[in-house]
Structure 1
Amino acid sequence: MTDRERDRPITDIGTLKALAHPLRMKLYRGLCVAGKATASHLADQVDEAVSLVSYHLRKLAEHGLIEAAEPQRADGRERWWQPASEGITIRDRDFRDAPEKAAAHLAATRLFHDQRADLYRRYLDERATWSAEWNAAAPDSESLLRLTAAELAELREELLALARKYDEKGRSAEADGDDTEGREHVALHVYGFPFRL
């Protein structure tokens, strides 16, 4: 693979719909966490048949969301996949020009939110199995701010930059073979939205 894009913008309804399938989003997320995986690895994670997982991986590949990765074994019999970019960006402004595009964007956003909420609920259900150190480190907060749209956009960019800094720090340590003890996958979900009482 050549240099990957940092964030691939999704601006067309076909790609959005391809990703906004519950199983495909789980597979995409699984690949982002693993870096590289086969259909059988992912099938074990999502508890689905390998043939079904292979079909959905090909659909993600058709839309350029994932791509073939170098085989990880010498025999090369298994097909390996990896994300085609470091992340994706989906912006509301790209789907406002037609009602069907706006509806697809809303449905996708709801699916992504529901899956994120399920992931957090799973953590809550399993919290007792995590150490006191991990439980103390896991943030759970709400900030009620008074901002302009421009200030919220600035805050979003600063939070993304901060998350990228820590992601790069962790990936660099793992690539160097340093400091892997005690390192876990961490989901960071940030929502910022206007509301009125």
Structure 2
Amino acid sequence: MKTIEYRKDATVFSSHEKAAESYDFILEETKAKHVFYLNEICQETLLSAKARGTGISSRPPELLEKKMREGEAVIAITRDGRWAGFAFISSWENGKYVSNSGLIVAPEFRHTGLAKKIKRKIFELSRKKYPEALIFSLTTGLAVMKMNHELGFEPVTYAELPNDELFWENCKSCINCPVLLSKDRKNCLCTAMLYDSKKNGSAVSDF
């Protein structure tokens, strides 16, 4: 049985999977205190990119620290204080677009359903902070594509993404960047997906 308890600024999920162990996660919008976990998040993101051999663009620690302090990220920790997962948002073109990025789960807590909970939480944060924005996601991962689809995202062409040069600068640290540049930024190995709040209204698929 899964139990969900709502707090003022955090959501606590009890995840009971087929695995022998069950975990109790606290998901919340980040604050300054969460910078404590920054190095671990950055290291695991890098290791994951190398292990998968797929497109994960790195972000400077300074940027992620800023996101954490400004509450533009979601973090998952265990009851005993271990970091379990993370994701962040960024706005582009004066808030016209907002991206859901950097979803990472610590190896110990993968296959527990935590990624889906983080994805839902970061999506809710995006809608709260930027209610009129087009929310988008770029990914090579089938699991993330499925989560996006369940939330109401639809596949789009790269022409429907921001024109902001800083956004595209972030792709330079991705292993697939040469493919992107060879196609004049019109296509790459990542699938672009977009959520339009005007089209979807307030309805959100059950997760």
Q: Higher strand fraction: Structure 1 or Structure 2?
A: 2
Q: Which has the larger radius of gyration?
A: 1
Query: Would the TM-score normalized by the shorter structure come out above 0.5?
Result: no
Q: TM-score, normalised by structure 2?
A: 0.26
Looking at secondary structure, tell me which structure has more helix per residue: 1
The structure with higher relative contact order (CA 8 Å, sep 6+) is 1
